[in-house]
Structure 1
Amino acid sequence: MKKLTTTLVAASLMIGLAACGSGNNDNNAGNAAASGSAGSSASATAKSDDKPVTVRVAWWGGQSRHDYTLKVIDMYEKLHPNVTIEPEYAAFDDYWKKLAPQAAANQLPDVIQMDISYLNQYAGRNQLADLTPYTESGKLDVSSVAETTLAGGKIDGKLYAMNAGSNALTMMVDPAMLKSLGIEEPAADKGWTWDEFAALGDKAKAQGKLLFSDLRHDVFFPFYLRGQGKLMYAADGTKLGYDDDKLFIDYYNKYQEWYDKGYTLSLDKLSQSKGTPEEDLVALGTALSSNQWSNQFIGLSAAAKRDLDLLPIPGWDTNKALFLKPSMYFTVANSSKVKDAAIDFINYFINDIEANKVILGERGVPVSSKVQEAIRPNLTPEQTKVFDYVAWAEKNSSEMNPPNPVGAVEVDALLKAEVEKILYKQVTVEKGAAEFREKANAILAKNK
């Protein structure tokens, strides 16, 4: 397998790879797949007379994800000697910066790891293939996947994205640090508020620790809105989903207070982070909590090299704000000339038990119930914590928000910029709320 030593390499090399990856005739590699019975192998070995085919596969993540994904690719290539996988990978922010020009040049990778924030954007531009025909034919086996799990990848009744795993928001902590600070872990069956969470800030600061590493605005402001019975976006995607700016003002008054008290990183230091597990402040031992998606616990634990715990996120029980979300998706570029082979690789990743003994839920709890059952005995204590937390979250969740509308990525960037102005005291929270509403609604109005 041709392994790239850089992450989502420069554009000129990308175009060369694209010509290699998409210029082969589709040799129906997917037809060589078993129907996906989730047995020891979800793909049959390629026939000796199968023509060579190259499939470009792109994903984001930290080093541990890169390492095991490359191992799974090796396993797949041994089953399919005629298939060469060209891996393209990066940290989260760099990934999208590289993917955008590829999309503009119609040179997207064949298999694209996709985030819910970008799904409507790429699907809405006809850049993603409808996977429904492949699920109907059995080439993409979803027989052990719940319909509710598949629903998160559907737009207007078409399946554009295959859920790669389920996860939920969680707070990741170092229990030894909590104990040293005299803090008890909140019980999973007892809700707690953001104010109760913030009350721990002074204890952390007194010991030279931060309260939290980061709270992504595009994740936690919508989560706060859910707790208030509101959504970030209107159902038709043409405007914001909340009408009262007091919601924005209340949340960011709290956030500004936390920032001013030094409970989190300064903006200049935060801007230097690539968001990898190795850079997380809990892994480095300098923050009390890391608030993010449950599937990221495995990479964080590996980076920390010590025992960590998952706790319920503050506000989880307010209006049942907690929800299960696809950790990420696998999608296929509409421009791909090797769609069958791309689908076969996704089918292998989702359904093959031996592959999932390597993956072990790092991209979220497997969506196949058969795979979940088969790999549980192989889980490490950290992986078991993730599986157990997601099972708990499933029982204490409400339905997830619809996929973000076209323009949401621009709105997310706008929110981040507006909050930075607030934290730098360039505008008041009240003015920031009004500016955000005006500009966000102007972006979303294009969907009318």
Structure 2
Amino acid sequence: MKHRGKHRRRRRGRALRATLAGTALALTAAATVISASQATVADAPGALKPVSASAGAGRLPLAEHRVPGEWLDRLASEMGRPVGVGAVLEGADLPLRDAAADCSASEKHSLPVEPAATRAYCFGGSDTRGWRAGAVTTSGDADDDGRWGGNRVILSGWTRGAEGGSLDGPAPGQGLAKVAFVDANDPARLRYTWALLAVPVNGGRDYRGLVSPLSGMVWYQDKLLVTTREGDRDALYVYDMDRIQRATVESDAVGRVGSGWAAHGYRFVLPAVGSYTLPGGDGASRPATVSLDRSTSPDSLVASEWVPADGDRRTRLWRYALSREPARSGLLATGSSGKADPVEAFETKTADVRGVLSRRSGWYLDRAAGSPGGHGTLWRQDTDGARAARCGTDGTRHCWSGGSGSLSYWEETGEVWSQSGRMLFALPLTSIGRALD
């Protein structure tokens, strides 16, 4: 069962913001100055173009599929009673290093130059080598008071063998997906542990690893929704945060091993409870990155596709309403056909989008760097125009993290979270506003 705090902690949130602001100068000094080769200002993408959400470019209906309850029950009866997030955090014994004191210059090079991160941490190399970071969500998405069962939590998604800039997918035989559960109760002492993402098979008698890049992830209520590229139709997989299973065998294998259960050496595994697919196998467009928007009524999931910089069409953005039905907690709102249709759609000239965030009428789009080791661009767009964060007075817009992943807004503290390489970082949304053109 879930145990969510239900009282807003606004005073505590304001105090926390004041404390975090005091670290901004140290992290600003750590950010690397952008090279002269990046000083060229890219053409502005202009205003968002609304498109019909019911036809043409705006149409991206997602068909909902549930894993049969008897499959999940059979798996639980074999593996043991499922646990929740609190039990996972009890095993969080790996430290995240503080950027100001313990992360290398090369790691800190990936941090945004402007606006500067007010908090930044780096993962260890031994358990992330050969893995690519891509997705972030927090307990600020899960519940409006920013906590889950009294805990502040950050989830960081990684994919094995998916290094590099492409979102096309991992190499064959690779691509296992895992999530770091980060205990963020003490900002000065973040610790984490891993859980493998899996998919039940054979009627719930076994499971396989999810083989897909994790480029987008949203934790809403008791569900975790992640973007997938496993086949022609997959778009989102759904996980239940109250159905986390313990592995019983320490092995690189995944699934049933003799009389036990393995999760590629990790202690926890999340079996999928459902998925959203694209009817008709339309592989030309699908969500590549997602985030939660609490400024709408009802709360909504926003998504962007990935179109490369040399692509021949514009990038499409979508918004889906989240269900208000208690029996459908954490799921998308669907019609009588069982499909979730977009309630809003746009096109943008911004290409190579790696993170999307929406607040009220503004959409924030994180564009990757155009060259290895460079810095990216963070745009704010609406139907009136576009502005980008600038690096002080030198005019360049290449100020954002070069290899950043998805964006997540923590309403309680006013922070935007993202990650680039081994760096996990946060900064106030208000500082983004001040850095815009």
- Taking CA–CA contacts closer than 8 Å with sequence separation of 6 or more, which of the two structures ends up with the larger relative contact order? 1
Select the structure of larger CA radius of gyration: 1
Scaled by the length of structure 1, the TM-score of the pair is 0.23
Instruction: Determine which structure has the larger helix proportion and give its number.
Output: 1
Scaled by the length of structure 2, the TM-score of the pair is 0.23
